[in-house]
């Protein structure tokens, strides 16, 4: 993982963590379902942003590094990891 985007990702994840705790409180307090669902959607959107940043980092660093290295086995391994991840996502 690149070091320059790590603080931003950690900050975003800490906000998500706070949002999830807030959702738990909303459930405990028997808040209105639509209000809770709205917050759940916000958490999902925030996690998707984290996912996209990590994916961009993987493509721009890990996969690019395998391509630049010229190591065909490493290239295949990195490509297979990404394909497997995307297949799991689509299940």
pLDDT tens digits, one per residue of 5-56? 899 999 999 999 999 999 999 999 999 999 999 999 999 999 999 999 999 9
Is residue 1 in a domain? no
Structurally, the chain folds into a number of domains equal to: 1
Is residue 30 in a domain? yes
Q: What is the extent of the structural domain holding 11? A: 6-89
Whichever domain contains 80, its CATH number is 1.20.58.1000
What is the signed CA dihedral for 78, 79, 81, 86, rounded to 10 degrees?
140
DSSP labels for 28-76? HTT--HHHHHHHHHHHHHHHHHHHHHHHHHIIIIIIHHHHHHT-HHHHH
* Distance separating alpha carbons of residues 70 and 63, to the nearest angstrom: 11
Is residue 49 in a domain? yes
3-state secondary structure of 82: helix
Q: At 61, is the pLDDT very low, low, confident or very high (cuts 50, 70, 90)? A: confident
pLDDT of res. 28: 98
Is residue 17 in a domain? yes
Q: At 90, is the pLDDT very low, low, confident or very high (cuts 50, 70, 90)? A: confident
* Distance separating alpha carbons of residues 11 and 66, to the nearest angstrom: 29
């Amino acid at each position: 993982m690149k070091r320059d985007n790590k603080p931003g990702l950690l900050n975003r994840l800490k906000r998500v963590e706070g949002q999830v705790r807030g959702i738990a409180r909303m459930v405990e307090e028997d808040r209105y379902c639509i209000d809770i669902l709205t917050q759940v959607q916000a958490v999902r959107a925030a996690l998707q942003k984290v996912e996209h940043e990590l994916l961009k980092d993987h493509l721009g660093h890990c996969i690019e590094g395998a391509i630049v290295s010229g190591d065909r086995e490493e290239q295949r391994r990195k490509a297979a990891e990404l394909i497997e991840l995307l297949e799991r996502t689509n299940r």
